[in-house]
Amino acid sequence: MKKPSLILAAVLVSASALAQNVDFATPHDGDTVTSPFMVRFVVKNMEVQPAGEVKPGTGHHHILIDVPPVDENSVIPADAQHKHFGKGQTDTELTLPPGEHTLSLQFADGAHRSYGEAYRKTIRITVK
């Protein structure tokens, strides 16, 4: 039987490797920006496709603004704080009020169901 500490280490390593699947090309964590600002999305191991058809290995991007993450397999709401890029966009221009904001990039399937933590990246930025 394996030691629990070894199992935990293996889980942590695989979780951090999986967390690299999506990222912001810009802005970066900790950046200060002036509104409006460009946001560019990157995804690995998935193909970007417009919303509508649920096809394994594909999906579209979402930005969650100042809200908690959406659990894996849960449908991402559509409102001012949950932006869908259902045409397959890989960038957008955001306008936010001055102050600190949390942005989460979340990849989800054609029916807007979250791919969870492995396909999420969260950063904190400051808008001047």
83 is an interface residue for Cu ion by CB under 5 A: no
Q: Which residues contact 68 (CB under 8 A, 6 or more apart)?
A: none
84 is an interface residue for Cu ion by CB under 5 A: yes
112 is an interface residue for Cu ion by CB under 5 A: yes
Distance in angstroms (rounded) separating the CA atoms of residues 46 and 88: 12
Residue 18, helix vs strand vs coil: helix
Of the candidates 46, 43, 59, the one whose C-alpha atom is nearest the C-alpha of residue 113 is 59
Q: In the complex, what is the shortest distance from the CB of residue 74 to Cu ion, in angstroms, rounded to a whole number?
A: 12
Nearer to Cu ion, 84 or 121 (CB): 84
115: left (phi over 0), alpha (psi -120 to 50) or beta: alpha
What residues from 3 to 32 belong to the interface with Cu ion (CB under 5 A)? none
| Choices 6-14, 20-28, 77-85, 117-125; region in contact with Cu ion by CB under 5 A | 77-85
Q: In the complex, what is the shortest distance from the CB of residue 115 to Cu ion, in angstroms, rounded to a whole number?
A: 11
121 is an interface residue for Cu ion by CB under 5 A: no
Of the candidates 121, 54, 125, the one whose C-alpha atom is nearest the C-alpha of residue 86 is 54
Q: How many residues bind Cu ion (CB under 5 A)?
A: 2
Nearer to Cu ion, 13 or 78 (CB): 78
Residues found near Cu ion in the complex (CB under 5 A): 84, 112
